[in-house]
């Protein structure tokens, strides 16, 4: 189950170094437009909402809800194919963006759309960590 | 400027094979090109424009060289499986603008026989989105489409049984196609009993994986008039990219909400005028969302719309994919846009299999979807008519 998911090392491109460095410290950063204020996802030093090049990092709450998910029963992805079944999801962060990720620390058949979740970091051992999400018992409601 | 009536599809060809281990992609491109030109009654020396996707080689250069084409107009727009519907629209625009007279569009690929390059075509750096989406075990296209299906079910109550009806309709058509990869009729129960791949999508919610290809030839009205073969008239075209919207993506609709209305407007036809539709069917959910987005039913009602044989030719309210579609017949190179155009032309010529030929088919629509409805996609809608439409 989910605890056995692999931790592939992210490729770091120019403009995303700080994002991945922060994950190793347990922080989820988002880029925000300094002109229109819109949080940006995926991280890039450009605002697709208004076209501004003025952007900066801020730390996200790490909380959100499941927007949608799928339980993967057949996979050709190295590492993952040995961890079936696993859950791929979009989590809607409290800041707005819907972020692709895995839901972990939860039986796949317990995952529901609207379920509150919070970020957990799983270290790659290479100066970065994967941001995955687990059920958030401290959040009320959901559904 | 409108393309309405300014170009005609004069030749089509679908490669008859579904597994081709012993030929190169370029050879398959050449074979389907020859087939479509022969169908039109034209030859390679008549071709002055060439269209292909980004996987065909070094843009259009490699295949132009391979086939010895002498060209004055080229286009290698790459929008995944929708590319070839885009190409027909662009070919019609170029012909209408006087840039060319005979446009050749080809597709080839061998995902069944040869390992695919991960869909990136070996173009160097990974795309910027892949850096954040390639980490989570997305296993081929099915995972993204499953994400869309889950959300559509959540918002609208769409069911697995309704999605299975799409496969059933396609299979009822494929049983008449001797080249179809899957020729046995399916039942809803069979689809639901097939192995779950990515919930809620079962194996039989997915299209087939086939080698092969296809080609079409788009020509000017002057050229069309000189040919013996019946052509299909290009009436309207629309194209769009729907992307991840800065992370605010909504997986319950596709780019057809943009490409569809533009195609209808240019063609000057309404939904009631459409006799036949080729709807991109990479997965059953693709068809349900696309039918809604093209306006054949209200958003959220696609699951109910496909019940009761709506899509089954020849007598359903909206006969679709009479070749068996990607779900049963053919999805060459993991890209279904080419075969969508080809079957629509067969219908307009009255040359579909007699068991699925739509009577008096005069207006047809072909819609392509490329990329993933789970993240970012290219959408293209093409409306065609008979020569006198």
- The whole-number average pLDDT for the span A23-46 is 95
Beta-carbon contacts below 8 Å between A and B: 113
Q: Which residue has the higher pLDDT, B313 or B27?
A: B313
Contact B143 A72 (CB under 8 A): yes
Residue in B79, B88, B69 with CA at minimum distance from that of residue B26: B69
CA B256, CA B74: separation in Å to the nearest integer?
26
Q: Residue A2 has which token pair?
A: 């989910």
Virtual torsion, Cα B352, B356, B357, B363, nearest 10 deg:
-100
**Is residue A141 scored above 80 in pLDDT?**
no
- The whole-number average pLDDT for the span B26-43 is 95
Q: Please write the tens of the pLDDT for every residue from B320-377.
A: 999 999 999 999 999 999 999 999 999 999 999 999 999 999 999 999 999 999 999 9
Give whole-number Cα distances, A70 to A112, B1, B196, in Å.
10, 45, 11
Q: Please write the tens of the pLDDT for every residue from B205-262.
A: 999 999 999 999 999 999 999 999 999 999 999 999 999 989 999 999 999 999 999 9
A15 min Cα distance to partner chain B (Å): 10
A11 touches chain B (CB under 8 A): yes
- The whole-number average pLDDT for the span A39-46 is 92
**Is residue B121 scored above 70 in pLDDT?**
no
pLDDT value at residue B66: 87
**Preceding amide of A42 cis, omega within 30:** yes
Contact B154/A68 with Cβ under 8 angstroms? yes
Query: Of B154, B198, B247, which has the smallest distance from its Cβ to A97's Cβ?
Result: B247
Q: Please write the tens of the pLDDT for every residue from A114-135.
A: 999 999 999 999 999 999 999 9
**For residue B158, is it left (φ>0), alpha (ψ between -120 and 50) or beta?**
beta
Contact B135 A130 (CB under 8 A): yes
CA A21, CA B234: separation in Å to the nearest integer?
54
Cα of first residue to Cα of last residue in chain B, in angstroms, is 19
Q: Mean pLDDT of all residues in chain B?
A: 94
**Is residue B2 scored above 50 in pLDDT?**
yes
Q: What is the CATH number that goes with domain A2-135?
A: 2.40.50.840
Q: What is the chain B residue with the closest CA to A90?
A: B147
CA B148, CA B108: separation in Å to the nearest integer?
28
pLDDT band at B40 (very low <50, low <70, confident <90, very high): very high
Q: Residue B336 has which token pair?
A: 């279904």
- Name the least confident of B19-28, B140-149, B275-284: B19-28
pLDDT value at residue B127: 77
Residue in B316, B267, B251 with CA at minimum distance from that of residue B89: B267
List of residues 6+ apart from B123 with CB closer than 8 A: B54
pLDDT value at residue A140: 66
Give whole-number Cα distances, B282 to B20, B278, B329, in Å.
21, 12, 11
CA B27, CA B372: separation in Å to the nearest integer?
28
Contact B132 A100 (CB under 8 A): yes
pLDDT value at residue A122: 97
CA B9, CA B230: separation in Å to the nearest integer?
9
Q: Residue B304 has which token pair?
A: 């109910």
A11 min Cα distance to partner chain B (Å): 6
- The whole-number average pLDDT for the span B106-126 is 65
- The whole-number average pLDDT for the span A74-96 is 97
pLDDT band at B117 (very low <50, low <70, confident <90, very high): very low
Complete domains list, chain B, with CATH? 8-114+205-385 (3.40.47.10)
A121 touches chain B (CB under 8 A): no
CA A6, CA B372: separation in Å to the nearest integer?
24
Q: Which residue has the higher pLDDT, A87 or B26?
A: A87
Q: Please write the tens of the pLDDT for every residue from B159-213.
A: 999 999 999 999 999 999 999 999 999 999 999 999 999 999 999 999 999 999 9
SS3 track for B7-68 = CEEEEEEECCCCCCCCCCHHHHHHHHHHHHHHHHCCCHHHCCEEECCCCCCCCCHHHHHHHC
The Cβ of residue B342 has, within 10 Å, a number of other Cβ atoms equal to: 25
Contact list in B for residue A5 (CB cut-off 8 A) is 137
**Is residue B116 scored above 50 in pLDDT?**
no
What angle separates helix B284-293 from helix B160-174, to the nearest 10 degrees? Answer: 100
**Is residue B303 scored above 60 in pLDDT?**
yes
Virtual torsion, Cα B71, B341, B253, B307, nearest 10 deg:
180
Q: Mean pLDDT of all residues in chain A?
A: 93
**Is residue A15 scored above 90 in pLDDT?**
no
């Amino acid at each position: 189950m989910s605890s056995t998911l692999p931790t592939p090392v992210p490729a770091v491109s120019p403009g995303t170094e700080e994002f991945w460095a922060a994950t190793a410290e347990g922080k989820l950063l988002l880029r925000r437009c300094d002109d229109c204020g819109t949080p940006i996802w995926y991280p890039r030093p450009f605002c697709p909402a208004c076209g501004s090049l003025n952007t900066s990092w801020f730390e996200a709450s790490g909380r959100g809800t499941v927007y949608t998910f799928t339980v993967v029963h057949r996979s050709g992805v190295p590492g993952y194919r040995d961890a079936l079944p696993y859950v791929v999801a979009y989590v809607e962060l409290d800041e707005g963006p819907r972020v692709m990720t895995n839901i972990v620390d939860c039986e796949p058949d317990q995952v529901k759309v609207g379920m509150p979740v919070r970020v957990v970091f799983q270290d790659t051992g290479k100066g970065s960590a994967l941001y995955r999400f687990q059920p958030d018992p401290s959040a009320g409601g959901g559904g | 400027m409108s393309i309405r009536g300014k170009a005609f599809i004069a030749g089509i060809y679908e490669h008859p094979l579904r597994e081709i281990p012993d030929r190169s992609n370029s050879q398959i491109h050449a074979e389907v090109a020859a087939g479509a030109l022969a169908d039109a009654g034209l030859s390679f020396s008549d071709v002055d424009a060439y269209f292909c996707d980004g996987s065909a080689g070094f843009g259009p250069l490699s295949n132009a060289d391979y086939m010895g084409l002498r060209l004055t107009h080229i286009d290698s727009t790459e929008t995944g499986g929708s590319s070839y519907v885009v190409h027909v629209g662009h070919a019609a625009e170029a012909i209408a603008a006087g840039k060319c007279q005979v446009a050749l569009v080809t597709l080839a690929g061998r995902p069944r026989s040869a390992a695919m390059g991960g869909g990136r075509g070996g173009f160097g750096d990974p795309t910027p989105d892949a850096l954040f989406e390639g980490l989570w075990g997305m296993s081929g296209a099915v995972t993204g489409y499953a994400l869309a299906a889950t959300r559509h079910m959540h918002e609208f109550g769409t069911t697995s049984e309704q999605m299975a009806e799409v496969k059933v309709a396609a299979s009822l058509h494929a049983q008449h196609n001797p080249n179809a990869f899957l020729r046995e009729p399916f039942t809803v129960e069979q689809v639901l009993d097939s192995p779950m791949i990515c919930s809620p999508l079962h194996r039989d919610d997915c299209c087939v994986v086939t080698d092969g290809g296809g080609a079409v030839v788009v020509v000017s009205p002057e050229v069309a008039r000189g040919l013996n073969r019946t052509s299909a008239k290009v009436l309207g075209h629309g194209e769009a990219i729907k992307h991840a919207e800065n992370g605010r993506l909504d997986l319950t609709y596709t780019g057809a909400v943009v490409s569809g209305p533009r195609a209808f407007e240019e063609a000057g036809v309404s939904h009631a005028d459409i006799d036949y539709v080729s709807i991109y069917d990479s997965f059953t959910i693709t068809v349900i969302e696309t039918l809604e987005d093209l306006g054949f039913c209200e958003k959220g009602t696609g699951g109910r719309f496909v019940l009761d044989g709506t899509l089954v030719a020849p007598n359903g309210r909206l006969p679709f994919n009479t070749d068996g579609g990607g779900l049963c017949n053919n999805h060459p190179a993991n890209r279904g846009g080419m075969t969508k155009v080809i079957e629509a032309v067969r219908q307009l010529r009255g040359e579909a299999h007699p068991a699925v030929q739509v009577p008096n088919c005069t207006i047809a629509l072909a819609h392509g979807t490329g990329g993933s409805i789970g993240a970012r996609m290219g959408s293209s809608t093409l409306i065609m008519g008979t020569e006198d439409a």
